[in-house]
Chains A and B, each alone.
Chain A
Amino acid sequence: MKSKTILDKKNFELTISRLCYELIENHGDFLNTALVGIQPRGVPFAGRIVAQLQRILGKKDLVLGNIDVTFSRDDFRRRETPLLPKSTKMDFIVENKKVVLIDDVLFTGRTVRAALDEILAYGRPAEVELLVLIDRRFSRHLPIEPNYVGSTIDTIETEKVKVEWEEIEGQDRVLVHKK
């Protein structure tokens, strides 16, 4: 299996900073905004975004949650073993809030669809936006598009995009594995 690095450490940091400034443009002081990482791989990304926003804005009271979409997925019982849930941590209600869903890779859009369902269990948000680090374009199964994109790439279905995090894999980078 061949791997190609498409985002190294330096570009990784630059990309996250740029995404933060784009968020600030639309959300200002974040008083009515909740940032929600999608389990499992959107959670470290959301943590990174929030840490960076806190540094830029000099404030600590950003609302951050993480959400697990296992129970709302559309492929339950299509696999050999049941999908097992990760933890959800949402200690706020999204009623009338602006919600930014955060995930590492946007591929078919099915995870995001499930996340939209899950979010509704916490109230009716004023609006929901989507922020992703990598957008694998032309591969969507559903009409879902991101509002903030770190990097857009073209891949074929058999390729696998892996975002690695310093806190999990030891370094920040994005790889494309070719079969």
Chain B
Amino acid sequence: MEDRATITDHLSTNHLMGIKQITAADINLIFKTADQFKEILSRPIKKVPSLRDITVANLFFENSTRTRISFELAEKRLGADVVNFSASSSSLKKGETLIDTVNNILAMKVDMVVMRHPNPGSCIFLSKHINVPIINAGDGAHEHPTQALLDAYSIRERHGSLKGKKVVIVGDILHSRVALSNISCLQKLGAEVMVCGPTTLMPKYITSLGVKVEHNLRNALEWCDVANMLRIQLERQEIMYFPSLREYAMMYGLTKEILDSLGKKITVMHPGPINRGVEVTSDVADSDSSIILDQVENGVAVRMAILYLLAGTIKREE
């Protein structure tokens, strides 16, 4: 499926900070490894012992359900031991710093860290102070590399390859780490990217990323092969960027009528959680154009691949 020249036999990095820090060859290696994990997930016993001597800490300084469960399942299916940490029940409230918190956890012999944090760049900061592999599970509005990888993997699964595919990312580009990671991931794999949404939700310098910008949903859908409908992140919006959710849904919501009137079949994606009737209507989310549940399924396989490949860099103490 991939170009042979653009695959490597090991990752060029010891951490997964963001898509920016990895190469197209790394991404292809992750995908090829994920193919095998996907097969494992279809077995009666969905578990392999590769990481049985590894302990992974999932540090979630920000709420998450899907990503945390997906990581936890991926870790457990690789045989790793897992400890979970969430900010709401931690000593951070007592004034401990991030480095102290993490070092305390690492002192208990943890080999890898998966971290979600509200501050952009927190993983990069942490990587300068600790020496275990870190996987970024979302840092503020900066990057969410595993989501971008599983999105691209799901497109590859449906369309065979990313090369030359036209992908539009619709919605709140301004607050979305998924958008930023997706743009660089898709571009590295040779896809064309367009962003679409209200002007107020477009970052000022978005064109510097080499993407097309469109404000009309219909035009964007007519152009694309794949539409990735982002969630409206009301929790990150400190002011109102659009008059009402209803108006947003009218302008940028994907309905069955629009989908049917395109005269071609496009693939509909959503990183979840869906606000049904806002970004996409229920009949679109449940239609055969939608690969939303494939994305969730692939998420575990892709995360297993990343954990497996990064764990390969940990040297066993002899």
B318's nearest neighbour on chain A, judged by CB, is: A78
- CB < 8 Å neighbour of B10 from A76, A81, A90: A81
Given contacts A76-B312, A87-B39, contact A81 B33 (CB under 8 A): no
C-alpha gap A72/B49 in the complex (Å): 6
* Contact between A82 and B316, CB atoms less than 8 A apart: no
* Contact between A81 and B312, CB atoms less than 8 A apart: yes
Between A71, A86, A90, A120, the greatest number of chain B beta carbons within 10 A of the residue's beta carbon is seen for A71
* Contact between B50 and A76, CB atoms less than 8 A apart: yes
Specify the main secondary structure of chain B where it touches its partner. loop
- CB < 8 Å neighbour of A121 from B10, B33, B47, B309: B47
In the complex, per-residue mask of B288-318: 1 if CB is within 8 Å of any chain A CB, else 0: 0000000000000000000011011111100
> Does A55 reach chain B (CB closer than 8 Å)?
no
B11's nearest neighbour on chain A, judged by CB, is: A82
> Does A168 reach chain B (CB closer than 8 Å)?
no
Given contacts A82-B308, A82-B312, A87-B35, contact A122 B48 (CB under 8 A): no
Shortest beta-carbon distance, B55 to chain A, in Å?
14
Specify the main secondary structure of chain A where it touches its partner. loop
* Contact between B315 and A77, CB atoms less than 8 A apart: yes
Inter-chain contacts of A88 with B (CB < 8 A)? 36, 39-40
* Contact between B312 and A121, CB atoms less than 8 A apart: no
* Contact between B308 and A77, CB atoms less than 8 A apart: no
Nearest 9 Cβ contacts at the A-B interface:
A82-B312, A71-B48, A81-B10, A85-B36, A121-B45, A71-B50, A121-B43, A88-B39, A77-B316
> Using a CB–CB distance below 8 Å, which chain B residues touch chain A?
9-10, 29, 32-33, 35-36, 39-40, 43-50, 78, 308-309, 311-316
Given known contacts A71-B49, A84-B33, A120-B45, what 7 new A-B pairs fall within 8 Å (CB)? A71-B50, A71-B78, A82-B313, A88-B36, A90-B43, A117-B49, A118-B48
